[in-house]
Structure 1
Amino acid sequence: MNQSHTEWAYADLFSGCGGMSAGLAATDRFVPVYAADNDKWANATYAANLGHAPEQLDLLTLQDEDLRVAWAEQVRARAQGKPFLLTGGPPCQGFSSHVKVRGDRKGRNQLFSVFGDLAVALRPDVVMIENVADLVSSRSWDLFDELRSKLREAGYGVRARILNMAQLGVPQERFRTVVLATLNRTPTFPQVRCDPSNFSTVKDWIGHLPPIASGEPNPADPMHVTSRHRASTIEILRQVPQDGGSRPAGVGPECLDRTRGSHGGYTDVYGRLAWSGPAPTITARCRTPSCGRFAHPEQDRGMTAREAGLLQTFPADWQFAGPFDDRYKQIGNAVPPLAAQAFGDHIADGMPEVASEVGLFEVEDKPVGSSFSVLIPGIRRRGGVLNP
């Protein structure tokens, strides 16, 4: 059978506001049979934009084997014999470089283990996991290695690579670990679509949006509105050079100058996006200029939800449900739909060998180090690649 015309079914766990599902839908080759998340506002966004509602479910409730097997039988039956993809991004906060202690005090890292158990019970043809790059650092290596071992013992070939999503056309330097597992064969990764010379740019994706002031409502698009910044924040931004500029020394809180002088830190705080290149990673805090390089290239304000959503490659009419801050959390935690679409096409095509697989680093049998994140500034200086 020609793989390019085969219709696939998929289940999306930790489905969030629908980034992965939006990308798979854009391929016109995947049919959703199940989605689940424990976040009510993310579920509301997913349902409003994709037309089917995720189950609001804490997957830790499926730790019991009998419950897990019953769940898997019900979900698999919905696939009606189609090739089946299981995808998911277990919550990553416990793996992030911003967490200074090993593990997750709330115990949510157990969800990573539960995801592996659900994958084994469901037995899909392909498993895809997206997470932060530091999933494969020393702090979280045991969890990653446990999952990989479970899948291998169940008959899956498993590979993991650290990606810069800009290689797939996403207008961000977004570094993520992607794990692919394929039943009875070794998976391949999609072809690189962009190199540093033609990465998508901020201007490509948000340059057309109408200018707005801090906190100013936009009657044409309720997602295109910023926080109402303090006067002191706006005064700082007025002194930051346009189009990629950084906060000058002596501007803003004195503590920022002290940390810059002592160890060179926090240079992106109050920085502006640059029109001519990709954005840094869009995070749940991207509405706040004091949390990174998230100020508009020219206007004296932070990012709107519409701008953040577009830089995450969500459709231009996507509506994010919930309180103001929650919209940004949904966006920052999402898989960029454009990246999900690239993986979906590659999977539906039968995972052919490609000339140049996307990814900066192949994860083998040891951690990438105490933190992959410490390598990111150098990668950015080299134009988004691991080595010159």
Structure 2
Amino acid sequence: MSKALEPAGPSDGVNRWGLVDLFAGCGGASAGFLATGAFDHLWAADNDRWAAATYEKNLGHEVATVDLLEVAESSADVWAAGIRARHRGPICLVGGPPCQGFSSHVKVRGDSRGRNTLYGAFVTLAIALEPEVVVIENVPDLFATRNWELFADARSRLSDAGYRVRARILNFAEFGVPQERFRAVVIASRADHPEVRFPAPTHAQGAFSSVQEWIGELSPVASGEVAEDDAMHQASRHSKATLEIIRQVPADGGNRPIGVGPECLDRTRTSHGGYTDVYGRLAWQTTAPTITARCRTPSCGRFIHPEQHRGLTAREAALLQTFPSNWHFVGPFDDRFKQIGNAVPPLAARRIAEAVLSGGSHSEAGVVEIGDEPIGSSFSVLIPGIRRRGGRLAEGN
């Protein structure tokens, strides 16, 4: 489990890369990049105090808790000059800016193209910093119709600033992450730098990493219990009614039986086949579903342990996100899961970092390359077809 993120040997010190991580969260992206041994931490920012504390505790680097929208609008050039003054080598800027903007900014300033959103602020800071490579990670619906103008404008701005911009939807399971985790990834390479390709897949569909590989050796804990040797391996204290449902769900990938639990779930299953994952168990020999901020709660998806009668612990969720087994999440119980669910899996980040370092003409992972049109109204409706086609959105992609 941990070998995937063991730091590589130190580089020769020539042209070392600098890493700037915006919307850094609890450190998933930074952990993956720094594990290559070729990147030096330059600057990180996030306005979530618990996530920032987790980043600092585990990575040992300070996180600036600043308003990046304000920095982008008032002092982007000063900010960029300060970072550039501290590093002579190439820089990679990474981040997962949210698509949502501050409604007060949009309303007051009449922003119709997303320049005053956090996503737009990220692009403004990227243009000011002029890093050799920019990597953006986000939800797949970044490329959906409702967000298309935001993405298209950002791509245009980066292109006008001298970047070659490529965008794909990736399934991080292709990099060894034991989840079916589809994500939007944008890689922009400066014109005077070799073009960066997307990472090569390390795992094929049918041979993805399994739940058992990553959490199968953890000690059992019951509802409401915490492991003696690991404060992060703590299960939610479920209600009696929830436990009655869980005990009736078959082990190792089982679904909630008809007639068990809320009647509304049966009605939706009968009418349109919906919510079959609710109160479902993970299966030992397959990947997990996407780990979310609500993965401790059985009513929020297929988040029941394969055998034990409870939802996932923070340690299990973190391992399925490929965090190191000694990673400590700072903050209240629920906030740990929020940090984990929102994070970039460190193993996926490491594969992207390796692609940044190597360039080359390898085969590239990806569900689909994004062109001049949105993927549709929502990515979720496309997932069944992707599975049928062996992990691709359409034939030929």
TM-score range, shorter chain: over 0.9
- Per the alignment, residue 100 of structure 1 pairs with none
Q: Assess if the C-alpha contact under 8 Å between 1:158 and 1:186 holds in 2.
A: no
Relative to structure 1, the CA distance from residue 242 to residue 371 in structure 2 (aligned partners, 3 Å threshold; closer, same or farther) is: same
Q: Match of 1:76, as an amino acid?
A: R
Q: Match of 1:315, as an amino acid?
A: P
Q: Assess if the C-alpha contact under 8 Å between 1:6 and 1:348 holds in 2.
A: no
Q: How does 1:179-190 map to 2 (within 5 A)?
A: 179-184=186-191, 186-190=195-199
Give 1:384 shift: 4.2
- Per the alignment, residue 124 of structure 2 pairs with 117
Aligned partner of 1:72 among 61, 69, 80: 80
Q: TM-score, normalised by structure 1?
A: 0.93
Aligned partner of 2:69 among 53, 60, 68: 60
CA distance in 1 between counterparts of 2:118 and 2:94 reads 14
CA distance in 1 between counterparts of 2:246 and 2:154 reads 45
- Per the alignment, residue 363 of structure 1 pairs with 370
- Per the alignment, residue 139 of structure 2 pairs with 132
Q: Assess if the C-alpha contact under 8 Å between 1:159 and 1:186 holds in 2.
A: no
Q: Match of 2:170, as an amino acid?
A: L
CA distance in 1 between counterparts of 2:31 and 2:96 reads 15
Classify the secondary structure of the residue corresponding to 1:64: helix
1:20 aligns with 2:6: no
Q: Assess if the C-alpha contact under 8 Å between 1:3 and 1:348 holds in 2.
A: no
Aligned partner of 1:199 among 208, 211, 216: 208
CA distance in 1 between counterparts of 2:263 and 2:282 reads 23
Classify the secondary structure of the residue corresponding to 2:26: coil
- Per the alignment, residue 356 of structure 2 pairs with 347
- Per the alignment, residue 43 of structure 1 pairs with 52
Relative to structure 1, the CA distance from residue 3 to residue 87 in structure 2 (aligned partners, 3 Å threshold; closer, same or farther) is: farther
CA distance in 2 between counterparts of 1:144 and 1:306 reads 34
- Per the alignment, residue 143 of structure 1 pairs with 150
- Per the alignment, residue 4 of structure 2 pairs with none
Classify the secondary structure of the residue corresponding to 2:214: helix
- Number of aligned residue pairs: give it: 374
CA distance in 2 between counterparts of 1:24 and 1:104 reads 30
CA distance in 1 between counterparts of 2:33 and 2:196 reads 18
1:347-379 CA-partner distances (Å, limit 9, x unpaired): 112x1110x201110000010011111112343
Q: Assess if the C-alpha contact under 8 Å between 2:80 and 2:129 holds in 1.
A: yes
- Per the alignment, residue 256 of structure 2 pairs with 247
Aligned partner of 1:331 among 340, 347, 352: 340
Relative to structure 1, the CA distance from residue 149 to residue 88 in structure 2 (aligned partners, 3 Å threshold; closer, same or farther) is: same
Q: How does 1:282-361 map to 2 (within 5 A)?
A: 282-349=291-358, 351-354=359-362, 356-361=363-368
Relative to structure 1, the CA distance from residue 25 to residue 120 in structure 2 (aligned partners, 3 Å threshold; closer, same or farther) is: same
Give 1:217 shift: 1.9
- Per the alignment, residue 20 of structure 2 pairs with 11
1:215-248 CA-partner distances (Å, limit 9, x unpaired): 1121200000111000111110111111111111
CA distance in 2 between counterparts of 1:341 and 1:119 reads 21
- Per the alignment, residue 110 of structure 2 pairs with none
- Per the alignment, residue 382 of structure 2 pairs with 375
Relative to structure 1, the CA distance from residue 48 to residue 240 in structure 2 (aligned partners, 3 Å threshold; closer, same or farther) is: same
Alpha-carbon RMSD across the aligned residues, in angstroms, is 1.9
Q: Assess if the C-alpha contact under 8 Å between 1:173 and 1:384 holds in 2.
A: no
1:165 aligns with 2:181: no
1:194-224 CA-partner distances (Å, limit 9, x unpaired): 1012100000000000111001121200000
Q: TM-score, normalised by structure 2?
A: 0.90
CA distance in 2 between counterparts of 1:82 and 1:23 reads 19
Relative to structure 1, the CA distance from residue 358 to residue 3 in structure 2 (aligned partners, 3 Å threshold; closer, same or farther) is: farther
CA distance in 1 between counterparts of 2:36 and 2:340 reads 21
Relative to structure 1, the CA distance from residue 85 to residue 280 in structure 2 (aligned partners, 3 Å threshold; closer, same or farther) is: same
Relative to structure 1, the CA distance from residue 179 to residue 200 in structure 2 (aligned partners, 3 Å threshold; closer, same or farther) is: same
In terms of mean alpha carbon deviation, does 123-132 or 68-77 score higher?
Answer: 68-77
Point out where structure 1 has 5 or more consecutive residues left out of the alignment: 95-102
Q: Match of 1:156, as an amino acid?
A: Y
Q: Match of 1:74, as an amino acid?
A: G
CA distance in 2 between counterparts of 1:294 and 1:115 reads 33
Give 1:76 shift: 1.8
CA distance in 1 between counterparts of 2:225 and 2:389 reads 38
Q: Assess if the C-alpha contact under 8 Å between 1:158 and 1:187 holds in 2.
A: no
- Percent same amino acid among aligned pairs? 59
Q: Match of 1:69, as an amino acid?
A: D
